[in-house]
Amino acid sequence: MSALRPLLLLMMTVLAISGCAQPKPYGFDDVDWDRAMQRSDDRPVEEAYQPQAPDLALPPIVAGQDLPLSVEQATLLAIRNNRDLSVQQLNPVIAGAFEQIERGRFDPELFAEASLRESETSEVTNVTGEMFSVQSTGDAQEVGVRQQFSTGTDVQLSATNDHSTSSRRPEQYASRLGLTVTQSLLRGFGPAANLVDVRQAELDTLASVYELRGFTEALLADTEIAYWRYALAAQRIVIFEKSLDVAKRQLDEIEQSIEVGLLADTEAAAARAEVALREQALIDAQSEREAQRVRLLRLINPSPGNTLDSAVTPTSDPHIAQDLLQPVTDFDDRLLLAEQKRPDLAEAQLRLDQDRLETVRTRNGLLPRLDLFITLGKTGYSDSFSDAWREIDGETYDWAAGVRFSHFLGNRAAQGADLAARATRQQSAAAVVNLRQLVRMDVRLAVNEVERARRQIAATAATRALREETVRAEQERLRVGTSTALLVAQTQRDLLESQIAEVGAVVDYRIALVNLYLAEGSLLDRRGVRVDAPQ
């Protein structure tokens, strides 16, 4: 003991100095985070949920060259390369990891402990009343396993060895085998209360898969819509270029007629103005095509570098055969399909199930804590380690049994948690009903838009044909001197608008179909894309 006194004195001095010293602030910026992160495990996660799409032959991607691309190839590139999707693919993995964490609560735990002890005390004899000093030393080791079960049972099995020496007693070894069982009788009793976190984590994993499915479906819809809009922008440029050529030829004819005296000089102004208007429209169309190209490339991300510099040539024709333009007659079936397939509706239902499970937990939390415990032990004593374990099957034993009770008076925390859980469950149920109504509205509006676009295809085609006849008639009247260049320009402008409207109606129908499939939750199935868990 005398050897320990200088050490104890030094420790007390250090504690006194540190207690009186002014503490130095140690903030966030004082940590060497770069060095700390270098020691972290940065291995990539291999279990990402990768949506599976049909295999298609992709054209070679060469920087600086045109990229011929069909709408199917564009969607495949989006599934494979989209950066936003690669971020979302890890969400189910993270949710599944929390599921594993919750299950880990019921894994058996191996524990071990070793300790040394030394003491010096004073005792008084019963005979003489004389005080004398008693020195004792010892060491102890314990090893065991404990496990929590979903029934609310905690079991611990341990083996302990204790070695002690004293100036009053001879050296002694004590070895003990012990078993302790604790069973919850009220709060925490049964699998329904103890597996809530596990089941909620399972539902969270499923919900994250539905969330990934919804994101993938929206990505496919955005990609197809961007593709068709880019194709429309490319066709608009062709139409504007042709109309500009027509306007220039018309200007040449008018200028020739003015030279020979058939038309007045004032007729050229309207023709020149029309050429300028067509050039303005062509500039706007070229800018629109560039914007749509950038949006499409951002979605499909065809190459790691210079992803927005590739030129894209759409190869899919937006035109649809007339016999395929059929009205939507299965509205009720589409509503039923939407209630079965919409990923956001399925996710909302899973969130409602999670809230229902939370009420199971909070209802159990209203109960008092009442635990039954039983402890059994066998101990062997000897003057050596090996003999102590041999004596463990002797007559020495110990046991204890009893109950523990605890309960908060008023129990306001548990009652508040239960009230919040029941209100959240009611709120989630109302949200599911509201979302179901929104889904039906989405399908109804999508069907209405499909019907509008389908009927507009025939109407715009008829308008374009009639305006072509009007332009030809007005040009003939101009040649014979019964019309003016301004009237011809106006009819050509009307024809241009009808040509743009005809192409736009076809693309609108394509986009309306995509939005209908998105509203009913069937776009992935129709495109052959699956969102599966990793094997």
List, in sequence order, every residue forming a beta bridge with 141; answer none if it has no partner: 114, 161
Residue whose pair of structure tokens reads 């101009």 in the numeric block: 478
Residues in CB range of 247: below 8 A, 6 or more apart? 271, 274, 275, 278, 489, 492
Task: Give whole-number Cα distances, 206 to 341, 357, 428, in Å.
Answer: 14, 15, 17
CB crowding 192-211: b at 16 or more within 10 Å, else e: ebbbbbbbbbbbbbbbbbbb
Task: Give whole-number Cα distances, 68 to 80, 128, 224, 316, 389, in Å.
Answer: 18, 110, 15, 10, 82
Please tell me whether residues 246 and 316 are part of one structural domain: yes
Please tell me whether residues 181 and 288 are part of one structural domain: no
Q: Indicate whether 10 belongs to any domain.
A: no
Q: Indicate whether 44 belongs to any domain.
A: no
Amino acid 6: pLDDT = 58
Q: How far apart are CA 510 and CA 505, in angstroms?
A: 9
Please tell me whether residues 433 and 400 are part of one structural domain: no
Q: Name the amino acid, one letter, at 85.
A: L
Domain boundary among 345, 378, 406: 406
Amino acid 248: pLDDT = 84
Q: Is the dihedral of CA 411, 413, 416, 421 positive or negative?
A: negative
Number of domains in the chain: 2
Q: How far apart are CA 255 and CA 329, in angstroms?
A: 56
Amino acid 472: pLDDT = 85
Please tell me whether residues 204 and 173 are part of one structural domain: no
Q: H or E segment at 17?
A: helix 5-20
Q: Indicate whether 271 belongs to any domain.
A: yes
Q: Indicate whether 135 belongs to any domain.
A: no
Amino acid 309: pLDDT = 77
Phi, psi of 343 (to 5 degrees): -65, -35
Q: Indicate whether 319 belongs to any domain.
A: yes
Please tell me whether residues 315 and 386 are part of one structural domain: no
Amino acid 1: pLDDT = 47
8 Å CB contact between 49 and 209? yes
Q: How far apart are CA 263 and CA 284, in angstroms?
A: 33
- Domain range for 395: 153-187+369-406
Please tell me whether residues 326 and 428 are part of one structural domain: yes
In tens digits, what is the pLDDT along the chain, a chain of 535 residues? 455 565 566 666 666 665 555 555 555 567 777 777 766 566 666 666 778 777 777 776 666 678 888 999 899 889 988 889 988 988 888 888 898 999 999 999 999 999 998 888 877 777 677 777 878 888 999 999 999 999 999 999 999 998 888 877 778 888 899 999 999 999 999 999 999 999 999 999 999 999 999 999 999 999 999 999 999 999 888 888 888 887 788 788 777 877 777 767 777 787 788 889 888 988 998 999 999 999 998 998 877 665 677 788 899 888 887 777 888 888 899 999 999 999 999 999 999 999 999 999 999 999 999 999 999 998 888 877 777 777 788 888 889 999 999 999 999 999 999 999 999 999 999 999 999 999 999 999 999 999 999 999 999 989 888 888 888 887 788 777 777 777 877 887 888 888 888 889 999 999 999 999 999 999 999 988 888 755 4
Please tell me whether residues 183 and 303 are part of one structural domain: no
Q: Indicate whether 302 belongs to any domain.
A: yes
- Nearest CA among 71, 331, 90, 73 for reference residue 208: 90
Residue whose pair of structure tokens reads 């209405």 in the numeric block: 448
Beta-sheet pairing, 131-148 with 369-382: unpaired
Indicate which CATH number applies to the domain containing 229. 1.20.1600.10
Phi, psi of 191 (to 5 degrees): -65, -30
8 Å CB contact between 157 and 354? no
Amino acid 395: pLDDT = 82
Please tell me whether residues 334 and 244 are part of one structural domain: yes
Is residue 367 helix, strand or coil? coil
Please tell me whether residues 392 and 459 are part of one structural domain: no
Is residue 39 helix, strand or coil? coil
Indicate which CATH number applies to the domain containing 380. 2.20.200
Q: Indicate whether 432 belongs to any domain.
A: yes
What single-letter DSSP state applies at residue 530?
Answer: B
Please tell me whether residues 256 and 328 are part of one structural domain: yes
Please tell me whether residues 331 and 382 are part of one structural domain: no
| Cβ-based burial of 363 (10 A; exposed 0-12, middle 13-18, buried ≥19) | middle
Please tell me whether residues 272 and 176 are part of one structural domain: no
Q: Indicate whether 518 belongs to any domain.
A: yes
